[in-house]
Chains A and B, each alone.
Chain A
Amino acid sequence: MPALAVERWAKSSDLPPDAPVVLTVEGTHGPIIHTVTKAAATRGARAGARLTDARALDPGLVAVPADPEGDQVLLQRLAKWAQRWSPLVEMDGPDGLRLDISGVAHLFGGEQALAQDVIDRFAAIDLTARVAIAPTAAAAWAFSRFGGNELAPLHVSALRLDPDTVRTLERLGLKTIGALAALPRLALARRFRGAEDVVDALDRVFGRKPEPLTALADDPPPRSSLRLEEPAIHPEAAPQALERLIPKLVVELEERRLGARRLSLHGFRVDGSVATASVATAIASREPKHLQRLLADKAAALDPGFGFDAFALVADWTESLGAAQESLVEEPSGTRNLARLIDRLTVKLGPRAVRKPQPFESHLPERASRWRSALEHAEAIALPDTSRPQRLLDRPEAIDVIYATPEGMPRRFVWRRAVHDIARVEGPERIAPEWWRERSTVRLRDYYRVEDQAGRRYWIFREGLVGDGRGGAPEWYLHGLFA
C-alpha cells in the first residue's frame, strides 16, 4: 500500500482531495516530510526531504503531522482482515503485507483473479493496493514496488538493500539485478560483507534461500504470572503460587468475557526446564474457587527439582462467557453443578475413566453405544430397548453349549466353570457383520435371550453357521446379562 498514511489521513480530514498536503514527522533539524499527496508531489515535494526545502520550492504546501503509530495499528487490523485470503499473513515494513498463497489461489479463481480481488477489496475501503504475486517473497516485494514482471531489468534497489549499498553498486555501474546476478558470487561475497550482504539478497529474490513468513499471532491466551525472588523447592510453593495467580487470571478472563476450558500451571525451574499441570473443565468457567480446587492437587504434585523461580497460569482454551450472576444464594444451578462434578471426577480419575454414552448407528451391540469423555457433549439417550441387556461384557466370553441340533435352541451352557440349565429361550436374533468395514471372513451372530433354572437371564450368541464356509464349527459366546 504505497499511500497508506496519506489515504488514512485523507479519510479523516475535511481538506479538498487535491490540496497539496505533506505529512511530516519531527526530525533532528526540523520537520521532515513523511509522505506526500499526489498534488504535493507534482509541486516538487518528496518524501524524506525537509519541510523547509519543500516550502522553498512551493510555499503553498500544507503540512500536517503524521501519525506512524496509528498507521501501524491500521496495518495490523488490515493484516487480520487479509486473513480472508490466506491464513498466513505477515506485516512487511510500515506499509506492506505479505500473504502466503500456496494452495489458496484456486479458491478465488486463480492468481490473477485473487490479485484483482485484493485490489478491489482495498479500493472499496479507499486504500490503494499494489499487488504482485511471485514465487519468492523478496521478488513479490520487488514487483509490487517497482512493477514489471521480470527481475533482471529491475533496479538494484528492488533487492531491498540499504541506500549506501545501492549507491555503491550504482557507482560500480551495476544498475540492474540482471547485471548483478551475472557477476561471480565469490567476487560479490568478497566485496559486500556483513550488513550489506548482496549475495544474500540475490539468493532470497531468486529463491535459493528460504524466507519464511511469521504469521500473525492470535490473541494471546489469558495468562498471569508470578516471579519468585528466590527459587522455591518446598512442595507447597506451587499451590501457594496458584492461590495468587488464580484471582489475577480471573480478572483478565472477566475483562475479556471468557471462561476457561483448559488451564495450565507452568512452573519454571531454575535449571531451565518447565513443569506443567493441566486441567480441563466441562463448561467454561471463571469461578476462582472451582478452578483452584481443580488445580490444587496437581499443583502440589509438581516436581520442583532444583526449585521453581517463576510460575505462569495460562488459560490455553477459552470460550466466551457472558457476565452472569449465579444466584443470590450460594447454590449454583443444575447444569453448572453437574459440570463441576464432572470436572472434579475427571481431574482425579482421568478423562478415560469418566465417560458418557454416545449412541451410534450400528447393529453390532458393542458398536451401538460408544463412550466418550464426559467433558464433551453427547447426544441424549433414547428409551431403553428391551431386547438389549443391561450389562455387556467388554469381551464376549467363550462358553460351552449343549444343543439339540446345531441350528436349534441351546439347552445348557457352561460359563466360568458353572453349569447353567436353560429353562427358557428366545431367539435367534440374527446380526450380520458389517461387510463394509469388516473382513469377509467375519461370521454372523445369532443372539439368544436365555433364562436358566434359577431365573438368571443372559444374552448368548452363536458365531457363524455350520457350513457357512468361514471356519469350522460355530462357537458360542456369552455377551450380556439381563436384569
Chain B
Amino acid sequence: MSRVAKGLSIVAGGQRRAANRPPDGPNASLFAGRESWAPAKAGTRAGWTLPRPPSPTLSELFAATPRDGGWAGFLLPQVDRSKPVLWVQERMAILESGRIYPPGLGIDAIHVEARDARAALWAMEEGVRCSALSAVIGELWGDPAALDFTATRRLAVASERSGVPCWLVRLGATTNLSGARMRWRIASAQSLLNSLDSRAPGLPTWDAELFRARGFAPGRWSIAREADRFHLVAGAGGRAVGEEQRLTA
C-alpha cells in the first residue's frame, strides 16, 4: 500500500513541477491551436498508460549517461516492426556507446553512419519524409551547433506531415532548447526479479522522466515492460516480493 502511495506522490510531484514551470516562449507558440493533444489521465496506478503522442511526431530522448544503453529497450517496443527503420548514428555516438547490433534488435533496419551532426540531421530529415519507413531514430552526441531549435522544429514538422515518427536520441547532452513534442530522460534501473535465477538480471526497468510534453503532465515513473505494455513498478527501495511475482508472472 505504501508503494502505491509513493508512486502517486511521484506523479503528483511531477504535476506540481509542471505547474511551476514558466511557459517557454517559442515552444508554447508551436502547440497553440492543437486540440488533439488531450491531457492524459496519468495518475491512477491501475489504469496507467505510457504517455504517447496521439499522432506521429518528433520525440526527444536523453540517455542518463552515454554508458547506459537502457533507453533502447524503452524505445524499441514503441516502434512498428512491419516496416524498416532508419537508424542514424553519428560517428561519435558509435565510438562512445557502440554500434547497433541487429541480432539483438530484431528489426529491419537501415543503418546510417553519419560523420557529424549535420549529416545525421540531413539523413534523418530525408528519412522522415519517406513514408515507407516505420520510424526514424537518430543518435547524436553532445550539443552540436547544427542541432538548434530550427533543426528540431524542421524534423517535428516533417514528421507530423508524413506520419513517420522520429526519435532523436541525445547521448551526453544537455537539455537545450528543442522543438520536440515530447522530451524524455531515460535511465536504467534495477531489473525485476528473475524467477528462474535470482542472481541473474531479470526484466529491465527504467526510470523514465517526461520533463517536457504538450498535452501531458510531466512526470517521473519507474516502469517495466511486460505482456506488450508498460507497467508501473515501485522504486527500488520499496519493492515487495508479492509485487515482483505479480509482475514477473
A261 within 8 A of B: no
Contact of A424 with B201 at beta-carbon distance under 8 Å, contacts A384-B106, A392-B99 already known: yes
Contact of A423 with B106 at beta-carbon distance under 8 Å, contacts A390-B73, A392-B98, A457-B204 already known: no
A325 within 8 A of B: no
B125-155 CB contact bits vs A (8 Å, 1 = yes)? 0110011110000000000000000000000
Q: Is the CB of B119 within 8 A of A456?
A: no
A343-373 CB contact bits vs B (8 Å, 1 = yes)? 0110011001111110100000100110100
Interface residues of A in 364-405 (CB under 8 A from B): 365, 368-369, 371, 374, 380-385, 388-394
Q: Is the CB of B127 within 8 A of A341?
A: yes
With a CB–CB cut-off of 8 A, which chain B residues contact A385?
103-104, 106
Most central of B86, B104, B107, B115 by chain A CB within 10 Å: B104
B123 within 8 A of A: yes
With a CB–CB cut-off of 8 A, which chain A residues contact B200?
424-426, 449
Q: Is the CB of A483 within 8 A of B123?
A: no
With a CB–CB cut-off of 8 A, which chain A residues contact B33?
none
Q: Is the CB of B102 within 8 A of A381?
A: yes
Contact of A390 with B191 at beta-carbon distance under 8 Å, contacts A355-B111, A424-B200, A483-B72 already known: no
Contact of A456 with B70 at beta-carbon distance under 8 Å, contacts A341-B133, A388-B103 already known: yes
With a CB–CB cut-off of 8 A, which chain A residues contact B104?
384-385, 388-392, 480, 482-483
Selected from A334, A348, A349, A454, the residue in CB contact (under 8 A) with B188 is A454
- Shortest beta-carbon distance from A290 to chain B in Å: 13
B122 within 8 A of A: yes
Interface size range of chain B in the complex:
35 or more
Interface size range of chain A in the complex:
35 or more
Q: Is the CB of A483 within 8 A of B73?
A: yes
A451 within 8 A of B: yes
Q: Is the CB of A374 within 8 A of B132?
A: no
A306 within 8 A of B: no
| A456 CA to B70 CA, complexed, in Å | 7
| A355 CA to B114 CA, complexed, in Å | 11
B56 within 8 A of A: no
| A456 CA to B98 CA, complexed, in Å | 14
With a CB–CB cut-off of 8 A, which chain B residues contact A415?
67
B195 within 8 A of A: no
Q: Is the CB of B111 within 8 A of A345?
A: no
Q: Nearest residue in A to B188 (C-beta to C-beta)?
A: A455
Interface residues of B in 44-90 (CB under 8 A from A): 67-74, 76, 83-84, 86
Q: Is the CB of A357 within 8 A of B102?
A: yes
Q: Is the CB of B126 within 8 A of A449?
A: no
Q: Is the CB of A418 within 8 A of B204?
A: no
| A53 CA to B39 CA, complexed, in Å | 108
A440 within 8 A of B: no
A181 within 8 A of B: no
Q: Is the CB of B103 within 8 A of A369?
A: yes
Contact of A424 with B72 at beta-carbon distance under 8 Å, contacts A393-B99, A455-B204 already known: no
Q: Is the CB of A483 within 8 A of B197?
A: no
Contact of A457 with B110 at beta-carbon distance under 8 Å, contacts A426-B200, A482-B204 already known: no
Selected from A335, A349, A425, A456, the residue in CB contact (under 8 A) with B112 is A349
With a CB–CB cut-off of 8 A, which chain A residues contact B131?
334, 337
- Shortest beta-carbon distance from B200 to chain A in Å: 4
Q: Is the CB of B114 within 8 A of A451?
A: no
Q: Is the CB of A481 within 8 A of B112?
A: no
Contact of A394 with B98 at beta-carbon distance under 8 Å, contacts A451-B191, A457-B188 already known: yes
| A338 CA to B129 CA, complexed, in Å | 10
B97 within 8 A of A: yes
Q: Is the CB of B123 within 8 A of A390?
A: no
With a CB–CB cut-off of 8 A, which chain A residues contact B83?
334
A77 within 8 A of B: no
With a CB–CB cut-off of 8 A, which chain B residues contact A359?
102-103
| A421 CA to B71 CA, complexed, in Å | 20
Q: Is the CB of B102 within 8 A of A341?
A: no
With a CB–CB cut-off of 8 A, which chain A residues contact B209?
none
- Shortest beta-carbon distance from A343 to chain B in Å: 10
- Shortest beta-carbon distance from A297 to chain B in Å: 12
Q: Is the CB of B197 within 8 A of A390?
A: no
B187 within 8 A of A: yes
Q: Is the CB of B84 within 8 A of A338?
A: yes
Q: Is the CB of A481 within 8 A of B133?
A: no
Q: Is the CB of A369 within 8 A of B67?
A: no
Interface residues of A in 288-335 (CB under 8 A from B): 334-335
B232 within 8 A of A: no
| A337 CA to B163 CA, complexed, in Å | 15
Q: Is the CB of B189 within 8 A of A457?
A: no
With a CB–CB cut-off of 8 A, which chain B residues contact A418?
67
| A371 CA to B87 CA, complexed, in Å | 13
With a CB–CB cut-off of 8 A, which chain B residues contact A392?
98-101, 104
- Shortest beta-carbon distance from A283 to chain B in Å: 12
- Shortest beta-carbon distance from A338 to chain B in Å: 4
A426-463 CB contact bits vs B (8 Å, 1 = yes)? 10000000000000000000000111011111000000
With a CB–CB cut-off of 8 A, which chain A residues contact B101?
365, 369, 388-392, 480
Q: Is the CB of B114 within 8 A of A389?
A: no
Using CB atoms and an 8 Å cutoff, list the residues of chain A in contact with chain B. 334-335, 337-338, 340-342, 344-345, 348-349, 352-357, 359, 365, 368-369, 371, 374, 380-385, 388-394, 415-416, 418, 423-426, 449-451, 453-457, 480-483
Using CB atoms and an 8 Å cutoff, list the residues of chain B in contact with chain A. 67-74, 76, 83-84, 86, 94-95, 97-115, 119, 122-123, 126-127, 130-133, 187-191, 194, 197, 199-202, 204-205
Q: Contacts A381-B106, A391-B104 given; 20 further ones with Cβ under 8 A? A: A337-B131, A338-B84, A348-B123, A355-B111, A371-B111, A380-B108, A381-B102, A381-B105, A391-B72, A391-B97, A391-B98, A391-B99, A392-B99, A394-B99, A416-B67, A418-B67, A426-B200, A450-B201, A455-B191, A457-B201
* A–B pairs, 29, beta carbons within 8 Å: A334-B83, A334-B132, A338-B133, A344-B126, A345-B112, A349-B112, A353-B115, A354-B110, A354-B111, A354-B112, A356-B109, A356-B110, A356-B111, A357-B109, A371-B111, A381-B102, A390-B76, A390-B100, A394-B98, A423-B190, A425-B199, A426-B199, A426-B200, A449-B201, A455-B189, A457-B191, A457-B201, A481-B68, A482-B204
Chain A to chain B: the 9 pairs with minimum beta-carbon distance, closest first = A384-B106, A483-B73, A481-B69, A426-B200, A357-B102, A391-B98, A483-B72, A388-B104, A455-B188
